[in-house]
Amino acid sequence: MSDRDADHLPGHWLLARLGKRVLRPGGREMTTRMLANAGLSGSQVVEFAPGLGRTAREIIAAGPSSYTGVEADEDAAGLSRSVVGDRGQVIIGQADHTGLPDATADVVIGEAMLSMQTDARKADIVNEAFRVLRPGGRYCVHELALTPDNVSDDVKTEVRQALARAIKVNARPLTHTEWSTLLTEAGFEVAEVSFLPMALLEPKRIISDEGPLRTLKFVSNVIRDSDARARVLGMRQTFRKNRDNLSAICVIARKPS
């Protein structure tokens, strides 16, 4: 990914290349809240698509009995392994077919990855989480939601197309009800749902997520690279234009005991 030009690089990888570490729709606040309610201490934890390893670091700090990241991208897996070290493992695999044994995890974590999948692959990934979890296990997701819950199909299409143009990924966020239905149809029971604004590229959120020094570095990198700057400003404009129809959502679901 590092050798692709700014015009064609997927948005999350462009932001990472510019120095942004927190790439989730609800920022550190939502990730921290989700992990606090996930019951990580002493648990066997699986993370789908750990990416840069930012959340993996926080998971390991919570003291799980084991950590396994499942990452499809070789470059991202290397980054995650550098974070995890000897405190866990990161394997190459697909979230819809991990190769992990049945009913061996207490917690499965997934952030900002279901939103980027087709409806069929979303269902496959959720079914895989259900398979690898023990009875009573928790599936914790932090994703992008469409709002309000009764948003029209025309608006859904407009928002999804705008996101695809801006971030160069076919994003397909769902409404609150659609996310819940996706999980319950796989057999889960929805235990908790929370929301935060989708403010990934707003100055206040960037400072909160990255801290002052890393924010300055990120802004400096954006200013120096005109092509990247155009992309970042375009993404922010898209997020702002559609702010009434976008939200970050966290859902914690349980596999029945």
Contact 255, 139 (CB under 8 A): yes
- CA distances to 113, 119, 161, 197, 198 from 170, rounded to whole Å, are 11, 11, 8, 21, 17
Structure tokens at 75: 């470059």
Tens digits of per-residue pLDDT, 119-140?
A: 999 999 999 999 999 999 999 9
- CA nearest to 45, candidates 142, 137, 143, 124: 137
Q: Rounded to 10 degrees, what is the CA torsion of 240, 246, 247, 252? A: -150
pLDDT of residue 8: 83
What does the pLDDT read at residue 99? 97
How buried is 235 (Cβ within 10 angstroms: 0-12 exposed, 13-18 middle, 19+ buried)? buried
Point out the residues of the chain with pLDDT beneath 70. 1-4
As a whole number of angstroms, the distance between CA 83 and CA 179 comes to 30
On whether the 11-39+104-254 domain is CATH 3.40.50.150, my answer is yes
pLDDT at 4: 64
d(CA 171, CA 216): 29
Q: For 162-188, how does the pLDDT look when each residue is reduced to its tens digit (9 = 90+)? A: 999 999 999 999 999 999 999 999 999
CA dihedral 240, 241, 242, 244 (to 10 degrees): 80
Per DSSP (E only), the strands in the chain are: 44-48, 66-71, 89-92, 105-111, 133-146, 174-175, 189-197, 246-254
Q: What pLDDT is recorded for position 110?
A: 98
What pLDDT sits at residue 140?
Answer: 99
Sole residue written with tokens 């999350």: 12
Quick: pLDDT tens for 95-106: 999 999 999 999
